[in-house]
C-alpha cells in the first residue's frame, strides 16, 4: 500500500474525484510509492500559488498528476 504524505497546510482532496483517484492509487501501489496530494508551489514572478492535484513518487521516477472528475 502506498504511503500518503499530506503537506502541513493541505485540507485533503478538493473533490470526490480526487479522493477516488488517491484512494485507488494508495490501495493498488506498493509500499515503495509515495503520494503527495494538493501540493502548492509559489510562482514568485507572477506572485501566485500553483496547485498540483497529486505528486506520485515512484522508485524509478516522479509523476505530476492533474485529476479531472468528469
Percent of the chain with pLDDT over 90: 73
pTM for the whole thing?
0.87
Conformation bin of residue 69: beta by default, left when phi > 0, alpha when psi is -120 to 50: beta
Res. 47: pLDDT tops 80: yes
Percentage, residues of the chain above pLDDT 70: 100
What's the pLDDT score for residue 30? Answer: 96
Give me the sign of the Cα torsion angle 53, 65, 52, 3: positive
Where residue 8 falls among pLDDT bands split at 50, 70, 90? Answer: confident
Amino acid at each position: 500500500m502506498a504511503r500518503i504524505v499530506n503537506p502541513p497546510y493541505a485540507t485533503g482532496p478538493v473533490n470526490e474525484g480526487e479522493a477516488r483517484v488517491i484512494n485507488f492509487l494508495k490501495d493498488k501501489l506498493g509500499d515503495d510509492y509515495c503520494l503527495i496530494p494538493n501540493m502548492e508551489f509559489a510562482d514568485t514572478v507572477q506572485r501566485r500559488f500553483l496547485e498540483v492535484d497529486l505528486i506520485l513518487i515512484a522508485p524509478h521516477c516522479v509523476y505530476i498528476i492533474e485529476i479531472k472528475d468528469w
